[in-house]
Amino acid sequence: MADNKVYVSYDQVHSLLATTSQTVLDSFKPDFIIAIGGGGFIPSRILRTFLRVPILAVGLELYDDKTDKAHSEVRKRQWLDSSSLDRLAGKNVLIVDEVDDTRRTLLYCVDELKKHNVAGVGCFVIHNKKKEKFAELSEDVKYFSGEDIEDLWIVYPWEALDIDEHTKKSTK
């Protein structure tokens, strides 16, 4: 840990996803990955290597990128078109994001997808912060976390301006 932040390397992310992906396959068997942008894009692509299912993308925003402050509600910036939603009917979908902090974004995505007759919903995050959440997921939603961690600020490699410095900090 450096700067009171946890720096995570690409290697660490890949290892967590590789390990947890088998649990996903054994207990959920998704037909599609739903990547929540922006933090869920890269983990979704890595997971696809192991799960071998198509990726669809949505853009949801809870935090303002300019101020790092939370909005009062999740904002839908990009959603699935009708042909994509038709493809999901009767299928298992795995929602992917990088971190479960408040759970508001995951819950919003789950609720929206359930309106479209999906067979099952799962959520996958690289890191689950061990803290009280905004709400609980319903029991019918499968939940997967690469790692449960304390409530610390996590810096992912795709956020780095200097990847070499970031990687050094991730090994401390």
- Catalytic residue numbers read 101
Q: How far apart are CA 52 and CA 132, in angstroms?
A: 33
Residues 6+ apart with CB under 8 A from 146: 13, 16, 17, 19, 20, 124, 125, 126, 127
Q: CA 77, CA 7: separation in Å to the nearest integer?
A: 28
Q: What residues contact 11, with CB distance under 8 A and at least 6 apart?
A: none
